[in-house]
Structure 1
Amino acid sequence: MSRVGVYKIDITPPLGIDFIGYHRPEGIRNIDERIFSTAFVFENNQDTSVFISVDNIGLLIEDTSVIRERIAAELNVSYEKITVVYTHTHSGPATVSSRELVKAYKTILIENTVKAAVMAHERLQPSEVGWNVTLADIGVNRREETAGGRVKMGTNENGVVDKRIGIMAIRHQQDRTLSGAIVFCTAHPNVLKSDSDSLSGDYPGESRKILEQTLGCPVIIVQGAAGNVNARYRGSREALEKMAYALSGSVLTMIPSIEYKKISKLNTQSTIMPMTLIEIPKPEGIERMATNAEEQWGVNTSKWLTHMLGKYKQDDRHISIDLEIQSFRVNEGSFSGIPMEPFSESALEVHEKLNDPLAFFGGYTNGYLGYLPTKEAYPYGGYEVELNPVVYGPITNLWMPPAEDTSQKVVHRVLEMHRECERR
């Protein structure tokens, strides 16, 4: 048995809802394009796996867990076999707020995402899958070094970028028409900035539109290790189109040479790794972190500051949280993901140590916590290392940066999971 089912459902929010990604006080005023949740269900004789893409910057882990638990109950599939990835568009709707409009929208989003999985399962049909990979220059490293030996958000043309563009295409076994495609790439979906008041899937949405019109099937764009990689073109509708043409053009060049096979290997596994955070500094260090975040990002850090000073006063300076690492494999290709924003160096290490260009690693998987820098990035500081936990810690519970060796531990665990799958 080798079957795949696909279903795409609209999750476009009402006008007026808050943005998330860039602060825009007026909220969403226009709809540049509608946004979606798209579910793929894969099945062979031994296993069933669910893979879902949601057009959002990333729901919290607890909200994503609700989606996975409900799908598990509806389809009688193990929770660990369900993968939810987020496109990480910076022009999508908020899902964390005390506003009734946001809370109501999140309820509808969850309902429709579960429904997409159920409908995809109902549409299972004999299918074949095929993989391919190429290289494209759609991203640029954004950690620009300053004269003082630190980094700022900017452009580092010499910085590391995972340039791979991958595809897993699915076709009907009988008539050999395409039924779906999953595209893997690495570049922040932050082309449109705070001067845009329109809902948009950003370049993944624009690329998907081109590919779906050309291929005649649902397409999802899965984000890689883009924690230190911006979109190469940014700031305008023209830039959005350039990104979309660059990505979709690369994908279309791969289609003719894809070789399709029945699903012989299907494995989704999940593991929990305790993640230690950097030790909470003394009060003057805590206050310095809060001041830097306020000065550089214009945010109110009072909640973070009060919480961290309280932790220090209670002599509770060591924080550890659980991190889920999940690996999804179909035949010769795979995607491993975490609910963070890893750096491209980590993805390339996985690829190189496995000697496998079809071994993809990324973030925005099963929720959102914050950034996962490499150990080498810590001495240079910057938003991804120092400031993100201050800005978003009160929401995500990542109150401090991960310990410096965390990315190494995550890569090691990903490699172990791959090798365990091969042994099986």
Structure 2
Amino acid sequence: MKNKILMLGFSETDITPSKPIETIGFGRADELSRGILHPLSAQVAVWQLGEERCCVVTIDHIGFSKQHANTLRDEMAKVLCISREKIMLCFSHCHCAPNESASPEYYRSVCDRVKDAAALALQDMAPVNAVWGNAFTNIGLNRRKDCNALDRRIGILKICDSRSGKLKLLLLRLTAHNSVLKADNYLISPDYFGTVRDALRKEFGCPIMVTQGASGNIAPRYFKSAINPPDANDERFIRSDTALEDMAKTVLYDIKPVVMSLCPQKIDQLSMYSRQIELKADVPSYPRAMEIADEAQKYCGIDGTDWLKQVQHLLQNDIHQQTEKIEVQYFSLGNGCLCGVANEIMVEFALRVSEFLHNDFFYFGGYTNGCTGYFPTEEEFDKGGYEVYWSMLIYYVYHGRVFPLRRDSASELIRFVTENAPNI
């Protein structure tokens, strides 16, 4: 491919609901939206180098079910004349967007608009140069006060038109939960990803795509809420009426000198591919399930009645373990790579993989091609709590299992990701 030219086409579309709609992200009894704070977007970048064509999509959503995500990928594949594994859906994991599983009409609308955007991106193809860079930031904090693990990298992919040199697109990878707005907000919003895109577009004069990192246990430093949320409950976190803008200003301040110093070059390597790994989750005994439900009610006010019924149903049918097939997808461009799984992986996953590969431009993240729940490290697994057990009582209906993946699954996945990474 050394004599081939890298091509990029880009398009974006509005996916804001037109009427009040059930949202997802807080497990509230009333999840109906009450207006629009900021519009939601989906963005499509189509890449081609020689015969290789692939597509990266960013969507303002907590993360579709894997079935819904794959249906969209299959429909986009027909538009772009490529296979499903050549399409990577990167969900922002914002908690103030519609529940697509509860609104087939909204889901269908998003699919149609994203497919239209893909067709427009294909018409926008132009030769480009690109370069990866890293800035470093402090927008996130580990939810555990006694844990300092953080991925401070802001991965930057700077893309310029190869003929004019004009900046065509900036793609960022951030690592902090997209949950500046908390459970007392009922307005539709892309959360801080939206204000980051707006601030950077104004500064650099080009579209901005933002993807999410391994942020399962990383909360935003700033938050806007009148309540005391469980993920911002100590003096490290900053309550602010301008929290969304504060996050964006921090990102802009940290990346600007790096972006200005980066010089895009000709790229001769592009690939996107997937690998599958199968992992197991146990079904808890009923006494253990009751203990977990009691803890969830006591510490988070979570009603585990339905979850307990599902656990009981599985046990009565002699089902003591469940299996999850995890798709690990790689988008490799030049000397950098975005790699993702649908799970909410902890930050240690990204840090360990990058260290094993000796590549600071390898970015392992979650919320890719869906969202299937928290995936703790062994250390987090031992601590239990919301990320390990309690969240399952709310979202098990979307994840296809009632319990976290087994303790050793973290090491298995990290090994698998590393072994299947591209040679760059």
TM-score by length of 2: 0.92
1:142-188 CA-to-partner distances (Å, cap 9, x unmatched) read: 02xxxxxxxxxxxx164211110111011111111111111011001
Alpha carbons of 1:290 and 1:247: their partners in 2 closer, same or farther (altered >3 Å)?
Answer: same
Alpha carbons of 1:411 and 1:26: their partners in 2 closer, same or farther (altered >3 Å)?
Answer: closer
DSSP 3-state at the match of 1:323: strand
Q: Of residues 49, 53, 57 in structure 2, which corresponds to 1:52? A: 57
Q: Of residues 366, 370, 373 in structure 2, which corresponds to 1:367? A: 370
Alpha carbons of 1:400 and 1:6: their partners in 2 closer, same or farther (altered >3 Å)?
Answer: same
Q: Of residues 151, 155, 177 in structure 2, which corresponds to 1:166? A: 155
The one-letter code sitting in structure 2 at the alignment partner of 1:181 is L
Q: Does 1:92 align with 2:97?
A: yes
Q: Of residues 184, 193, 197 in structure 1, which corresponds to 2:186? A: 197
Q: CA deviation at 1:286?
A: 1.8
Question: 2: distance between equivalents of 1:289 and 1:371?
Answer: 16
Maintained 8 Å contact 1:264/1:331: yes
Maintained 8 Å contact 1:370/1:398: no
Q: CA deviation at 1:26?
A: 6.3
Question: 2: distance between equivalents of 1:46 and 1:374?
Answer: 39
Maintained 8 Å contact 2:296/2:304: yes
1:387-406 CA-to-partner distances (Å, cap 9, x unmatched) read: 12222112221311001111
Q: Does 1:112 align with 2:113?
A: yes
Q: CA deviation at 1:134?
A: 1.6
1:322-347 CA-to-partner distances (Å, cap 9, x unmatched) read: 11111111101111100011111110
Partner in structure 2 of residue 298 of structure 1: 301
Q: CA deviation at 1:273?
A: 0.6
Q: CA deviation at 1:24?
A: 7.4
Question: 1: distance between equivalents of 2:113 and 2:401?
Answer: 28
Question: 1: distance between equivalents of 2:347 and 2:324?
Answer: 23
Partner in structure 1 of residue 317 of structure 2: 314
1:370-421 CA-to-partner distances (Å, cap 9, x unmatched) read: 0110012122111111112222112221311001111111111111122xx2
The one-letter code sitting in structure 2 at the alignment partner of 1:257 is S
Q: Does 1:25 align with 2:30?
A: yes
Question: 1: distance between equivalents of 2:313 and 2:338?
Answer: 40
Maintained 8 Å contact 1:293/1:391: no
Q: Of residues 394, 397, 406 in structure 2, which corresponds to 1:394? A: 397
Q: Of residues 257, 266, 269 in structure 2, which corresponds to 1:265? A: 269
Q: CA deviation at 1:359?
A: 0.6
What pairs with 1:336-347 in structure 2 (closer than 5 Å)? 336-347=339-350
Task: Percent identity, please.
Answer: 29
Maintained 8 Å contact 2:24/2:31: no
Question: 1: distance between equivalents of 2:65 and 2:100?
Answer: 9
Question: 1: distance between equivalents of 2:9 and 2:254?
Answer: 25
Partner in structure 1 of residue 141 of structure 2: 140
Q: CA deviation at 1:119?
A: 1.3
Question: 2: distance between equivalents of 1:45 and 1:237?
Answer: 49
Partner in structure 1 of residue 126 of structure 2: 125
Alpha carbons of 1:73 and 1:370: their partners in 2 closer, same or farther (altered >3 Å)?
Answer: same
Q: Does 1:220 align with 2:221?
A: no
Partner in structure 1 of residue 228 of structure 2: none
Maintained 8 Å contact 1:289/1:390: no
Q: Of residues 410, 415, 419 in structure 1, which corresponds to 2:413? A: 410
Maintained 8 Å contact 1:87/1:189: yes
Maintained 8 Å contact 1:343/1:373: yes
Q: Of residues 289, 292, 304 in structure 1, which corresponds to 2:292? A: 289
Q: CA deviation at 1:135?
A: 1.1
Question: 2: distance between equivalents of 1:244 and 1:237?
Answer: 14
Q: Of residues 243, 246, 271 in structure 2, which corresponds to 1:242? A: 246
The one-letter code sitting in structure 2 at the alignment partner of 1:27 is L
Partner in structure 1 of residue 236 of structure 2: none
DSSP 3-state at the match of 1:329: strand
Question: 2: distance between equivalents of 1:133 and 1:163?
Answer: 9
DSSP 3-state at the match of 1:199: coil
Maintained 8 Å contact 1:327/1:414: no
Number of equivalenced pairs: 404
Partner in structure 1 of residue 164 of structure 2: 175
TM-score by length of 1: 0.92
The one-letter code sitting in structure 2 at the alignment partner of 1:192 is L
The one-letter code sitting in structure 2 at the alignment partner of 1:164 is R
Maintained 8 Å contact 1:136/1:164: yes
Q: CA deviation at 1:16?
A: 1.3
Question: 1: distance between equivalents of 2:246 and 2:146?
Answer: 18
